[in-house]
C-alpha cells in the first residue's frame, strides 16, 4: 500500500548515506559508552551485593582483644544472628605484606575460585588477585612466620573487593599486599576481632562494643571496602551519563540542522508532495524515518559494541576492584530503554525541525525562491573596512554567516569535541595536581609509625633512630554520625603543611569537610557530646582528618590523657625502619607506600580517560565530517559555478580555510571553558570523605586539545578539497533541477 | 451545473507597501468537460487563479464552487483530499520527484488513490513513453519529463486537469506533442482541462478562452472551431 513512499524514503537515504553513517556513528559511540558503563554499574552492583550476601559479609565488626565470654555476649545480643571470633595479623616480609585472617564459618567466608578451603593448620587459601600478581598457584608453599603453608584454594573475599590494606593504603598493589585465609589454629588463644551477622542499629552495636571492651566498632556500611564500593558505583554512573549527554546534545543539533537544510533545499519537492495530495502525516514519515532508522541502527549497534567492549573495560577496572562473576550481562531493559531514548531523541528532533513545512500551502512552497544571503551583512555597512579586505575573505565571511544553522553546528561540534578533550586531559592533570600538591606540598614526613599508646613523657625506643620526629595521638572523632581521625599534635608539629599555631584554641579541619558541614572558622562543631571550636580551615586532598593541640584536647575532651600512638618521622632510613619494626613490633607506612597506592588508584582511572579521549576524537571527527558534508553538498553548485567562471580551486579552498579558522577562533575558547565546567561538575563525583579531587587543567592541555581539534578540522578540510577537485562541472550543472 | 463557479474571488499577496492584488473580484463560470485556456501576460494572475482552483492556496476573499461544493470553505484536510482525488496538476517546470524513475513517479500518485501499477503503466503508454519507464528524471529530456508529469496527472483519472504553461519550457515540436497528448486525453476521457498560456496562438486550440489582465477577467469567449495542435504555430 505504502510501497512508493518507502521506496522514496529508501532512495533518499541512499542519497544521504555518508551523512547518515556519520550520524549513526555518533549514536553508536554515545550508546556504546553509556551501555558499557551502565552495564558495568548494574552488574557490579548486583555481583558485589550477591557476594556480600552469600559469603556473609559481617554486619558489624569489633576490634580489640576478646575471649569466648565476650563472644557469647555478642552472640546472645538481641538482633545478632551469628557471631564468630577470629584473629587477623599482618605479616611483613620485605616489600610484601601478607595479612593472615582466621577462617570463620558462615561469616566473611572466602569465595572459592579454585581448590578447597584449608582443613588444617598446614594449609591456606590465598586471595586470587595476589596469587595472580605473584604467580602463585595451587599446591605452592607459602612461608608465614617460619611456618610452611600449602596453598589449597584461590579465593575472593567480600572484605577484599578492594585491596584495602589500611586507611592510607586503600588500594594496595596486589603484588605487595595479599590476604591469606588460615585455620584459626594458626593463632594463639583469644580473638582480635569479633564479626557478627544480624539486624542491629549502629547505636546498639556501639553500646555492645563498649560492653565487651572493643577498641573500635565498625558497621558494614562504614567498612572502607564497602565505602569504596559505594563511591565507585556512584562514579561509574556519573561517567555513564556525562559523555552521552554531550553526544545527545550534538546529535539533536546536527539532526536539526540536517533536516532543516534538507527541507529548505527540497521545499519545492515538498510542495509537489502536497499538490499530489500527500498528507502531513506522510510528509512527516518521509523525514522522520531517516532519523528514526539512524537511531535504531545506532542504538542497536551501540549495544552490540558495548557487549563486545564490556569485558575488556571490566578487565581494566579489575585493578581497582574484583568480584566473582563480574562480566558482561545482557540487560534487556537497559538495551530497550537506550534504543528507545535514541529513537525518541532523534524523532523528536526530526518533528521539531519538520514542523515548519506543515503550515504553508503547496502553492507557496512551489514558488521558486531566491536563495537567501542576498542580505547585507553588518560588516558590509562598515564600507571602508569592507573594502580593505580581499574578495576572498569577504566571500568567506559572507558564506560563513549565510547559513547560521550549519555555522552553529560546526561551531558546536568543534566546541563539544574541544570540551571533551579538555575535560579528559584536565582529568589527568587534576589527578597529578592533587597528587603533587599532597605529597610535595602538604606532606613533610617520610614515614608514619603506629604504636600502642604511650604516655607523652615516655620515649619510644625507635625515636633514637630517627633524625627528626614528632609525636601525635590519633583518636576516632565521631562527627555527624561518621568517624574521622582526629590528630592531636604537639606545638612544634611541622610534618604537615598546616597552621599548627591555630590548633592552640580549637580544631582545624579541611576545606572539604568545612563545606560538607557548612562551618567556617570560628564556628563550633559537636564531637560526640562535646562542643569544640573550629579555629581554622585548610586544604587537604586525602586522608581527610582533623587536627588539634594537646592543650586544647585536654581542655575540652573529658578524660583525655596525654598519650601518643603515632610518630611522624623525617629524613629517616626506611631500610632501618624495616628491621626496627620487626624487632620492636610496630607498624609503619612510608610516604612512598601512600604514593604508590594513590598512583594505582589513578592508573585504573586512566583507562576511563583514554576511553573518553577516543570518544572525544570520534565525536569531533564525526561532527565535523557530517557538517562538512552538508556544507559541501549545499555549496557544490556554487563551487561548480565558481569553477566555471575560472575561479581556481586554490581560492575556493582558501575561502574554505578562512571560514574554518573563524569557526575555530570562536569554538576553541568556548570549548575550553565548557571542558573546565564539566571537570568541575565531575570532580564532585570523585570527592568523598577520603579523597578530594582538585580541578586543575595545565596550560599544555589546552594547547593539546586545541591542536587536536585544529588537526581534525584540517583533515576534514583536506577531504573537502578532495571532493571539490572531483566535482564534475558539466554533470553537476545539468543534474541540478531545483 | 458548472464545473467551477467563481464569485468575487480576490487574492492579495503581501501587505502595506508591497501589497500585490493578483486577483481582483473575479466572477467566472467554467462549464464541464471543456478544454479551457486562461490567456494573459506574465504577471496577470494566471497561476494564482489556477492555484485557487486546485486548492493549492486559499483566496483572500470570495468563493469558489466546484459543482455545488464550496471548496474555499474546505479544511486543510479536505483540501488535501480534494487535490489527491479530484485534481491532476501539470506544471511548467515538470516537478517530478528526482529520486523516483518515470514509472515510480506515476505510481506514487496512483498508489495514493488505490490504483494499481498497471494503471500507471497505461498512462505512460498513453503519453507515448512506454519505452522509457525505467528512466530517472535526470535521464529524460524536457519534453519527456513533461509527458511523465502529464501521465502522473492523468493516471489517477482526475475530474479536472490543471496545466500551468506546460509547454513554456519546451521547444516548438515538443510543445506540440504535449498539446496533442492533452487534446487526446480531453477527447478520449472527457476530462475537463484548464490550460494556462501567454500565447495567443496556443489559445486557439481551446473551446473557451478566458482573458486575464492585471488580475481581472477581460473576456470569456467560445471558440467556434478549435484548431488541432498541428495547425498552430508560434
Ligand atoms: N507568493 C507570492 N508573493 C508575492 N507576490 C506574488 C506571489 N505569487 C504571485 N505574486 C504576484 O502576483 C502577481 C500574479 O502572479 P502569477 O499569478 O504568478 O502571474 P502569472 O502566472 O500570470 O504570470 C504577480 O505580480 C506576482 O509577482
Ligand atoms: Mg505563472
* Alpha-carbon distances of A247 from A346, A349, A407, A712, rounded to whole Å: 12, 14, 18, 18
B154 with B119: CB under 8 angstroms?
A: no
pLDDT in tens, A18-75: 778 888 888 898 899 899 999 999 999 999 999 999 999 999 999 999 999 999 999 9
Pocket test for ligand 1, best of B22, B213, B214 (most atoms within 8 A of CB): B22
pLDDT of A317 > 50? The answer is yes
Confidence label for A116 from pLDDT (cuts 50, 70 and 90): very high
Using the beta-carbon criterion (under 8 Å), do A11 and B138 form an inter-chain contact? no
CATH number assigned to the domain comprising residue B121: 3.40.50.300
- Spatial separation of the C-alpha atoms in residues A535 and A305, rounded to whole Å: 54
Average pLDDT for A392-412:
70
B-chain residues near A735 (CB < 8 A): 138
Confidence of residue A737 (pLDDT cuts 50, 70, 90): very low
Q: Tell me the ligand closest to A365's alpha carbon.
A: 1
Q: Rounded mean pLDDT of B58-68?
A: 94
- The string of pLDDT tens digits covering residues A435-468 is 888 888 888 888 888 888 889 888 888 888 888 8
Residue A736 has pLDDT above 60, yes or no: no
CA distance A317 to A611: 12
For chain B, how many structural domains are there in total? Answer: 1
Instruction: Give pLDDT, residue A372.
Output: 44
Cross-chain Cβ contact A361/B83 below 8 Å: no
Mean pLDDT score of chain B: 91
pLDDT for res A209: 92
- Using one digit for the tens of pLDDT, what is the confidence trace for A585-612? 787 888 887 787 777 767 767 767 777 7
Over residues A173-232, the pLDDT tens digits come to: 888 899 999 998 888 888 999 999 999 999 999 999 999 999 889 999 989 899 889 988
Given the CA of residue B165, which atom of ligand 1 is nearest to it? Answer: 21
State which residue of chain B sits closest to A733, comparing Cα positions.
Answer: B138
Residues B19, B22, B23, B24: is their CA dihedral positive or negative? positive
| B69 is a domain residue | no
Ligand 1 atom at minimal distance to the Cα of residue B50: 17
What is the CA(B97)–ligand 2 centre distance, in A? 21
Rounded to whole angstroms, the Cα distance separating A179 from A181 reads: 7
Residue B156 lies in a domain: yes
Beta bridge pairs of residue A195 = A61, A84
Q: What is the pLDDT of residues B118-167, one digit of tens each?
A: 999 999 998 888 888 899 988 888 889 999 999 999 998 999 999 999 88
Band the pLDDT of B178: cuts 50, 70, 90.
Answer: confident
Nearest CA in chain B to A15: B99
The pLDDT tens digits for A616-659 are: 787 777 777 777 777 776 666 667 666 666 667 777 777 778 87
Nearest CA in chain A to B98: A737
Taking CA atoms only, the protein residue closest to ligand 1 atom 16 is B45
pLDDT of residue B220: 93
pLDDT for A660 equals: 83
Q: What is the pLDDT of residue A168?
A: 67
Contact of B164 with B52, CB cutoff 8 Å: no
Rounded to the nearest angstrom, the distance between the alpha carbon of B44 and the centre of ligand 1 is 8
Question: What atom of ligand 1 comes closest to residue B51's alpha carbon?
Answer: 17
User: Is B14 a member of any domain?
Assistant: no
pLDDT attached to residue A735: 44
Q: Which residues of chain B are within 8 Å of residue A736 when distances are taken between CB atoms?
A: none
Nearest CA to ligand 1 atom 3: B13
pTM: 0.75
Residue A292 CA, chain-centre distance (Å), reads 31
pLDDT for position A252 = 86
- The residue segments making up the domain with residue B190 are 32-61+85-231
Measuring from each residue's beta carbon to the nearest atom of ligand 1, which residues come in under 6 Å?
A 364, 367; B 13-14, 20, 22, 40, 42-48
Provide residues of A within 8 Å CB-CB of chain B.
Answer: 1-5, 7-8, 11-12, 15, 268-269, 271-272, 274-280, 361-364, 366, 368, 734-735, 737
Contacts of A541 (CB under 8 A, 6+ apart): A434, A435, A437, A438, A442, A691, A692, A693, A694
Environment class of residue A151 by beta-carbon count within 10 Å: exposed (0-12), middle (13-18) or buried (19+)? buried
Contact residues, chain B to chain A, C-beta under 8 Å: 47, 51, 54, 56-58, 77, 80-85, 89, 91, 93, 95, 97-100, 104, 107-109, 111-112, 137-138, 152
- pLDDT, tens digit (0-9, with 9 covering 90-100), for A156-173: 999 999 988 877 677 788
**Which band of pLDDT confidence, cut at 50, 70 and 90, is reported for residue A738?**
very low
pLDDT at residue A42 in the model: 94
Which residue stretches of chain B are H helix?
Answer: 46-53, 76-85, 102-112, 117-126, 142-155, 172-189, 200-203
Name, of A551-560, B94-103, B170-179, the range with top average pLDDT: B94-103
Residues lining ion ligand 2 (Cβ < 5 A) are: B 47
Alpha-carbon distance of A149 to A143, in angstroms, equals 6
Amino acid at each position: 500500500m505504502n510501497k512508493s513512499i518507502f521506496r522514496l524514503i529508501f532512495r533518499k537515504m541512499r542519497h544521504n548515506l555518508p551523512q547518515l553513517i556519520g550520524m549513526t556513528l555518533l549514536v553508536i559511540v554515545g550508546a556504546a559508552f553509556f551501555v558499557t558503563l551502565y552495564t558495568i554499574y548494574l552488574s557490579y552492583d548486583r555481583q558485589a551485593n550477591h557476594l556480600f550476601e552469600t559469603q556473609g559479609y559481617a554486619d558489624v565488626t569489633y576490634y580489640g582483644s576478646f575471649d569466648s565470654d565476650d563472644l557469647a555476649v555478642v552472640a546472645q545480643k538481641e538482633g545478632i544472628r551469628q557471631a564468630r571470633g577470629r584473629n587477623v595479623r599482618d605479616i611483613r616480609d620485605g616489600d610484601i605484606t601478607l595479612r593472615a585472617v582466621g577462617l570463620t564459618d558462615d561469616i566473611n567466608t572466602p569465595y572459592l575460585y579454585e581448590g578447597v578451603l584449608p582443613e588444617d593448620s598446614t594449609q591456606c587459601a590465598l586471595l586470587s588477585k595476589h596469587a595472580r600478581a605473584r604467580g602463585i598457584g595451587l599446591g605452592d608453599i607459602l612461608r608465614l612466620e617460619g611456618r610452611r603453608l600449602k596453598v589449597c584454594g584461590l579465593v575472593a573475599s567480600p572484605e577484599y573487593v578492594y585491596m584495602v590494606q589500611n586507611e592510607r593504603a586503600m588500594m594496595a598493589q596486589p603484588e605487595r599486599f595479599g590476604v591469606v585465609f588460615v585455620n584459626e589454629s594458626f593463632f594463639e588463644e583469644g580473638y582480635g576481632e569479633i564479626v557478627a551477622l544480624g539486624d542491629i542499629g549502629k547505636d546498639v552495636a556501639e553500646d555492645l562494643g563498649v560492653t565487651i571492651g572493643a577498641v573500635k566498632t565498625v558497621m558494614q556500611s562504614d567498612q572502607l571496602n564497602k565505602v569504596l564500593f559505594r563511591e565507585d558505583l556512584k562514579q561509574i554512573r556519573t561517567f555513564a551519563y556525562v559523555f552521552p549527554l554531550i553526544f545527545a546534545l550534538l546529535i539533536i543539533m546536527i539532526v536539526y540542522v540536517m533536516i532543516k537544510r534538507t527541507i529548505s533545499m527540497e521545499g519545492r519537492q515538498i510542495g509537489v508532495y502536497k499538490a499530489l495530495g500527500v498528507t502531513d502525516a506522510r510528509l512527516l514519515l518521509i523525514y522522520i524515518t531517516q532519523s528514526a532508522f539512524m537511531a535504531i541502527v545506532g542504538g542497536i549497534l551501540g549495544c552490540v559494541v558495548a557487549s563486545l567492549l564490556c569485558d575488556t573495560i571490566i578487565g581494566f577496572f579489575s585493578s581497582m576492584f574484583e568480584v566473582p562473576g563480574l562480566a558482561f550481562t545482557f540487560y534487556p531493559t537497559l538495551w530497550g530503554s537506550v534504543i528507545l531514548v535514541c529513537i525518541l531523541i532523534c524523532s523528536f528532533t526530526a518533528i521539531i525541525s519538520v514542523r515548519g513545512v506543515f503550515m504553508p500551502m503547496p502553492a507557496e512552497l512551489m514558488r521558486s525562491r531566491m536563495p537567501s544571503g542576498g542580505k547585507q551583512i553588518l560588516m558590509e555597512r562598515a564600507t571602508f573596512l569592507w573594502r580593505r579586505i580581499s574578495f576572498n575573505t569577504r566571500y568567506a565571511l559572507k558564506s560563513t554567516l549565510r547559513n547560521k544553522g550549519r555555522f552553529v553546528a560546526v561551531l558546536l561540534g568543534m566546541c563539544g569535541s574541544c570540551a571533551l578533550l579538555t575535560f579528559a586531559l584536565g582529568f589527568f592533570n587534576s589527578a597529578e595536581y592533587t597528587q603533587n600538591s599532597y605529597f610535595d606540598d602538604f606532606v613533610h614526613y617520610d614515614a608514619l609509625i603506629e604504636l600502642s599508646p604511650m604516655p607523652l613523657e615516655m620515649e619510644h625506643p625507635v625515636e633514637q633512630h630517627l633524625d627528626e620526629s614528632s609525636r601525635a595521638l590519633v583518636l576516632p572523632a565521631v562527627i555527624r554520625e561518621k568517624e574521622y581521625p582526629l590528630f592531636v599534635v604537639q606545638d612544634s608539629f611541622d610534618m604537615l603543611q598546616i597552621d599548627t599555631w591555630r590548633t592552640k584554641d580549637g580544631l582545624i579541619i579541611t576545606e572539604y569537610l568545612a563545606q560538607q558541614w557548612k562551618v567556617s572558622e570560628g564556628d563550633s562543631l559537636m564531637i560526640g557530646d562535646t562542643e569544640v571550636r573550629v579555629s581554622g580551615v585548610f586544604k587537604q586532598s586525602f586522608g581527610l582528618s582533623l587536627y588539634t593541640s594537646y592543650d586544647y584536647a585536654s581542655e575540652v575532651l573529658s578524660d583525655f590523657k596525654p598519650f601518643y600512638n603515632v610518630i611522624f618521622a623525617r629524613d629517616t632510613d626506611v631500610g632501618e625502619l624495616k628491621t626496627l619494626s620487626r624487632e620492636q613490633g610496630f607498624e609503619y607506612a612510608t610516604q612512598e607506600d601512600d604514593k604508590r597506592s594513590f598512583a594505582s588508584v589513578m592508573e585504573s582511572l586512566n583507562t576511563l580517560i583514554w576511553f573518553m579521549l577516543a570518544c572525544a576524537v570520534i565525536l569531533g571527527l564525526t561532527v565535523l565530517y557530517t557538517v562538512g558534508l552538508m556544507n559541501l553538498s549545499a555549496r557544490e553548485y556554487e563551487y561548480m559555478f565558481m569553477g566555471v567562471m575560472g575561479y581556481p580551486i586554490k581560492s575556493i579552498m582558501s575561502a574554505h580555510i578562512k571560514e574554518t579558522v573563524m569557526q575555530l577562533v570562536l569554538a576553541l575558547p568556548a570549548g575550553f571553558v565548557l571542558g573546565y565546567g564539566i571537570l568541575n561538575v565531575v570532580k564532585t563525583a570523585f570527592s568523598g570523605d577520603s579523597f578530594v579531587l582538585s580541578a586543575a587543567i595545565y596550560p599544555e592541555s589546552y594547547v593539546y586539545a586545541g591542536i587536536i581539534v585544529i588537526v581534525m578540522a584540517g583533515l576534514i578540510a583536506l577531504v573537502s578539497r578532495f571532493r571539490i577537485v572531483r566535482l564534475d562541472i558539466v554533470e553537476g550543472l545539468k543534474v541540478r533541477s531545483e | 451545473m458548472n464545473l467551477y463557479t467563481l464569485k468575487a474571488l480576490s487574492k492579495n499577496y503581501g501587505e502595506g507597501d508591497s501589497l500585490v492584488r493578483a486577483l481582483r473580484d473575479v466572477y467566472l463560470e467554467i462549464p464541464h468537460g471543456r478544454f479551457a485556456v486562461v490567456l494573459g501576460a506574465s504577471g496577470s494572475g494566471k497561476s494564482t487563479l489556477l492555484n485557487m482552483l486546485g486548492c493549492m492556496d486559499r483566496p483572500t476573499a470570495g468563493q469558489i464552487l466546484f459543482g455545488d461544493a464550496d471548496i474555499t470553505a474546505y479544511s486543510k484536510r479536505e483540501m488535501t483530499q480534494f487535490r489527491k482525488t479530484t485534481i491532476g496538476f501539470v506544471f511548467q517546470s515538470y516537478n517530478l520527484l528526482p529520486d523516483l524513475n518515470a514509472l515510480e513517479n506515476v505510481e506514487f500518485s496512483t498508489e495514493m488513490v488505490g490504483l494499481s501499477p498497471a494503471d500507471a503503466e497505461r498512462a505512460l503508454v498513453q503519453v507515448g513513453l512506454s519505452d522509457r519507464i525505467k528512466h530517472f528524471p535526470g535521464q529524460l529530456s524536457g519534453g519527456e519529463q513533461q509527458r511523465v508529469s502529464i501521465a502522473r496527472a492523468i493516471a489517477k483519472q482526475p475530474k479536472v486537469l490543471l496545466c500551468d504553461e506546460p509547454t513554456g519550457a519546451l521547444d516548438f515540436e515538443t510543445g506540440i506533442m504535449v498539446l496533442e497528448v492533452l487534446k487526446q486525453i480531453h477527447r478520449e476521457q472527457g476530462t475537463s482541462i484548464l490550460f494556462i498560456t501567454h500565447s495567443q496562438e496556443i489559445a486557439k486550440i481551446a473551446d473557451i478562452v478566458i482573458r486575464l489582465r492585471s488580475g481581472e477577467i477581460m473576456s470569456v469567449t467560445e471558440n467556434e472551431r478549435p484548431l488541432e495542435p498541428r495547425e498552430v504555430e508560434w
